[in-house]
Amino acid sequence: MLKRRLIGVVVGVGALIGGASVTYAQDTYIPLISKGFQHQFWQAVKSGAEQSAKEHNVRITFEGPETEAMVDKQIDMLSAALAKKPQALGIAALDSKAAIPLLKRAQAAKIPVIAFDSGVDSDIPLTTCATDNLAAAALAADKMAEAIGNAGEVGLVVHDQTSRTGIDRRDGFLNEMKAKHPNIKIVSVQYGGGDHLKSAEIAKTMIQANPNLKGIFGANEGSAEGAAIGVKESGKKLVLIGYDSGKEQKDDINSGLMAGAITQNPVGIGKCVVDSAVKALKGEKLPTKVDTGFYWYDKSNMSDPKIAAVLYD
């Protein structure tokens, strides 16, 4: 069915971007450029995207740099994807500004752009499939405050200060603490590039420099896993709250090392990207943003079917 509906649209796009007319839906190519590939989160996003691609009979690729600190490599991947003249494009930008020149090129070629996980500082993407990271991080702050008795010193290990997710999770946490928990002092905000080893060293240094530290918030999978390693190696007992899921975080929550975490809906994010791209190719109007949802999970609710469905290994 989609095959018939897309023929006219795809032919039109093909003519605008250089040429060859496309007559089969499976020739509808949608590359997805993610922020990384090493975390289980991205594998779950990829799984959702592949499910949607199969449903719509379109072809996708999914790639990202080895680490979430490699902005230049992501830009190279984006450039290479555009050179293949895709019908649409998905991008989870590591840097909310660096990708804009290439996205302008896509816009000029009439290639619909769908942002996911992390938006860009531009109105070029037709929609952004993402968690409300400000709200989710605010919930993490409330959970931290509750766990430490609403007073004391807290530190943050964040993946970066260039992507929309890094900025929003940091600010969502800090703003909530300032607004609702004035007796909690933020003593340190450090950036580990989402790398668990670097984040572990940051956490250990943070603990040594702040002997009264009561808690650490790890703002993505690698940050949280790294902070957990740092806390364990330091031998200090404090409250650790994470973001995302993955086997290590679930194990840490079950063991009591981590109090709990925010989980996103990565499979839903992946499906949203491809669904939105297909809608754009049909000429359908898209909302500015699609909130894909989030939940707090801890030892008490991990087996709840609603929660278990959005946790991943």
Assigned superfamily of 2-131+265-293: Response regulator (3.40.50.2300)
Look up residue 295 and give its two tokens.
Answer: 């939940």
Q: How many Å apart are CA 188 and CA 12, to the nearest integer?
A: 53
Mean pLDDT of 260-266: 97
Per-residue pLDDT, 26: 56
Q: Are the beta carbons of 268 and 48 closer than 8 angstroms?
A: yes
Enumerate the domain spans of the chain: 2-131+265-293, 133-263
pLDDT tens for 123-154 read 999 999 999 999 999 999 999 999 999 999 99
Given a cut of 60, whether residue 21 has pLDDT beyond it is no
Portion of the chain with pLDDT greater than 90, in percent:
87
In this structure, whether the domain defined by 133-263 belongs to CATH 3.40.50.2300 is answered with yes
Q: How would you classify residue 171: left for phi > 0, otherwise alpha for psi between -120 and 50, otherwise beta?
A: alpha
Q: What long-range pairs does 23-28 form, CB within 8 A, spacing at least 24?
A: 25/56, 25/57, 25/58, 26/57, 26/58, 26/59, 27/59, 28/58, 28/59, 28/87, 28/88, 28/278, 28/281
Phi, then psi, of 122 in degrees rounded to 5: -165, 160
User: Do the two domains 2-131+265-293 and 133-263 of this chain adopt the same fold?
Assistant: yes
Out of 17-21, 86-90, 119-123, 277-281, pick the least confident.
17-21
- What's the whole-model pTM score? 0.86
Confidence class for position 12, pLDDT limits 50, 70, 90: very low
pLDDT tens for 196-250 read 999 999 999 999 999 999 999 999 999 999 999 999 999 999 999 999 998 999 9
